[in-house]
Amino acid sequence: MDSMRMMRIGAMAVLAASTLGLSACCASTAQCDTQEIVQMNSADFYTDGKLDNAKCKAAYFEMMRKIGAPVYPRYEQEDGFMWTVDFNQGDFAAFGMGGVFWVNNRDKQYFGHEIFLLPGQSIAEHRHLSTTDDKGPLQAKHESWQVRYGSVYGFSEVGEPNLDQYPEAKAMLAKCQVPHMNCVHVEKWEADGQIHVLPKDETWHFMMGGPEGAVVTEYGCFHDNNGLRFTVPGASL
């Protein structure tokens, strides 16, 4: 075997060894790939003290285009079709969301929702209870989520406490949410085709946008707003 070929084989062996070492490191360290979350300024989303839907939507559209998510004409053109909310807390960048209810059918018991989250923006911690309306009893909303673009942190009261393993998410939690949190377990969800299921009905949960923001599709049974509960006092959808 000539000396040049031996040198190439040796270099490949060194590269393989160093790559395996890096993989071993990330397998044993939860946050090898931690990314800083750069959060926007909440004041930029208000006009005369009121949440400005046009400003909120513009920020989502910019985020969506950066991560490759479609911005359908009806998002921009149909008034009220895509909505935004700060949960009545005045801190939209940290504590808010955008959404589209594709369908919410009480008789057939199915629901489809698109969720939009800016980097570091979180939905209010909440749960869904069983209720009764004029047509009879309604089961507690059961739901699943699929990240389409970007990434999110999924928070749940079910599971081992591990928030300290996600310091970038912990640092971005809304000040109004922290004193009231029941969710102790966190997972990082990517746009990888996986479905993430509510682990137990009527349990507390919420999501936070990852470093690049996110678009998430939610599947569930009928959403009855009368069964929605928040932990933050005064929060509303």
Q: Report the CATH number at residue 222.
A: 2.60.120.10
Whether residue 41 is predicted with pLDDT greater than 80 in this model: the reply is yes
Domain check: are 18 and 127 in the same one?
no
Domain check: are 134 and 218 in the same one?
yes
Q: Using alpha carbons, list the distances in angstroms from residue 69 to 54, 72, 193, 213.
A: 19, 9, 15, 11
Does some domain include residue 235?
Answer: no
Domain check: are 85 and 4 in the same one?
no
Whether residue 145 is predicted with pLDDT greater than 70 in this model: the reply is yes
**How high is the pLDDT of residue 36?**
85
Domain check: are 110 and 184 in the same one?
yes
Q: What is the pLDDT of residues 3-34, one digit of tens each?
A: 444 334 343 333 333 332 322 333 333 444 56
Q: Using alpha carbons, list the distances in angstroms from residue 144 to 20, 128, 206, 217.
A: 35, 13, 12, 8
**Domain, as residue range, for 100:** 37-230
**How high is the pLDDT of residue 4?**
41
**How high is the pLDDT of residue 142?**
96
Q: What is the pLDDT of residues 71-90, one digit of tens each?
A: 999 999 999 999 999 999 99
Does some domain include residue 159?
Answer: yes
Q: How high does pLDDT run on average in the chain?
A: 88
Domain check: are 126 and 24 in the same one?
no
Q: How many domains does the chain have?
A: 2
Domain check: are 83 and 196 in the same one?
yes
Beta bridge mates, 216? 115, 147
Nearest-angstrom CA–CA distance, 123 and 95? 6
Q: What is the pLDDT of residues 85-130, one digit of tens each?
A: 999 999 999 999 999 999 999 999 999 999 999 999 999 999 999 9
119, 213 contact by CB (below 8 A)? yes
**How high is the pLDDT of residue 34?**
60
Does some domain include residue 236?
Answer: no
Does some domain include residue 14?
Answer: yes
Domain check: are 17 and 71 in the same one?
no
Domain check: are 23 and 74 in the same one?
no
Domain check: are 46 and 161 in the same one?
yes
Its pTM stands at 0.85
